[in-house]
Amino acid sequence: QVQLVESGGGWVQPGGSLRLSCAASGFTVSFYVMRWYRQAPGKERELVASIISTGGDTNYADSVKGRFTMSRDNAKNTVYLQMNSLKPEDTAVYYCNVVVGVGYWGKGTLVTVSS
């Protein structure tokens, strides 16, 4: 049974940092493309970052490039999103996603950036 559990969200001031985690079970993260999405209030869900299976290359939305880093720990079967220089516009619920035949989503973790 595929499960994704996000954690690490919270409140942070502009310019601060957070690290999100997505613990996976029921499949091996290194075999699949893993993605982080976010959904801000009143907006559509958007792709933030992805990491491919072979080689672990990453891709980022232009809005987070240079500030966010996605990584993977194969031993823990977990992916991470390190978020630095956070801005108020980064406020959103962040979701982990994988397609294993069908798409699976975690329940999300809320990130609030405000002073």
Residues 41-79: pLDDT tens digits?
999 999 999 999 887 899 999 999 999 999 999 999 999
Cα separations (Å) of 99 from 62, 67, 87, 107? 23, 26, 29, 15
In 26-86, beta strands by DSSP E: 34-39, 46-51, 58-60, 68-73, 78-83
User: What mean pLDDT, rounded, does the chain reach?
Assistant: 97
Residues facing 104 on adjacent strands:
98
pLDDT for 108: 98
Query: Is residue 111 within a helix (H) or strand (E), and if so which, with residue range?
Result: strand 109-113
**pLDDT over threshold 90, residue 36:** yes
Mean pLDDT value across residues 96-105: 96
The single-letter code of the amino acid at 49 is A
The single-letter code of the amino acid at 35 is R
Token readout for 33 is 């493309």
